[in-house]
Amino acid sequence: MINKYTVYCFDLDGTVYHGTEPVEEAVALIDVLQKEGIDPYYITNNSAASPKEVQQKLKAFGIEAKQSQIMTSAIATAHYCQEHYRGKTVQIIGETGLHEAFETIEMEIVDTGADVVVMGIDRGISYEKLANACLAIREGATFIATNGDKAIPTERGLLPGAGSFVKLVEFSTGVAPMFIGKPESYLLTLVQEASRSRKEEMILIGDNYDTDILAGIRYGIATAHVEGGVTSKEEVLTKEEKPTYYLKNLAAETIQKVFE
């Protein structure tokens, strides 16, 4: 029963696509769901791209997604800061997705001495940016990280993720950040609010146990681990807290069978 759940939350990288390559079964499944009247949500720890850029990438793979259905850790972090630090100043280490998200909220973006330091992946990171972040945090700024991913899958292999640089700042200052992305549940809170649904109606589908599956388990919704990404099924089977479902792939027939 594909409509056993009505709020599908798909992880993106490793689940719907691998870098620049779409996962054909995922594209087909999303089409089936949309024909059933279920418009999925996409939740990603990647703060580099804006919802508009993600939307364009999905469109190139044949997936029509509304920007409002795309929840990035950048959007979630801006939401969180608007809720808790409105009117304060913020220093940002990140790429366009994070900068654009903060342009829409009531916080002044500054280069040094901010009340809040927000950190996401920044592939143009420099010693100067790290130094300014450390100085602000030592002066008492609140330290918030979009996500703690150690590594990100790319065509070149696993490269350092946002979490690696966050660790550097944490090591230097002795201050641990607050994390917004998966496995924290803030992204799922946003989905639940936007969809006005009950937890029993929601399912999170992802390839990474430590981010996707744990986020779903902690939030109290169904989870499905899909093979072919970061965490192998063998590794998932060794974990104490197990996902609700194991999926070999995202073919609609596979889902039908597993959800029976």
50 binds Mg ion (CB under 5 A): no
Residue 183 in contact with Mg ion, rule: CB under 5 A: no
Q: Is 14 in the site for Mg ion (CB under 5 A)?
A: yes
> Which span sits near Mg ion by CB under 5 A: 14-22, 102-110, 130-138, 155-163?
14-22
Cα torsion for 202, 3, 227, 199, to the nearest 10°?
Answer: 10
Smaller CB separation from Mg ion, 92 or 152: 152
Give the list of residues 6+ apart from residue 260 with CB closer than 8 angstroms, or none: 1
Nearest partner of 73 among 43, 103, 40, judged by Cα: 43
Judged by CB under 5 A, does residue 13 bind Mg ion?
Answer: yes
Query: Taking a C-beta distance cutoff of 8 angstroms, is the pair 166, 177 a contact?
Result: yes
Q: Does 11 bind Mg ion (CB under 5 A)?
A: yes
In the region spanning residues 199 to 228, those forming contacts with Mg ion, defined by CB under 5 A, are 207-208
Closer residue to Mg ion in complex, CB, 137/181? 181
* Residue nearer to Mg ion on the CB measure, 11 or 115: 11
Binding of residue 149 to Mg ion (CB under 5 A): no
Residue 106 CB neighbour total at 10 angstroms: 11
Which residues in this chain contact Mg ion in the complex, by CB under 5 A?
A: 11, 13-14, 207-208
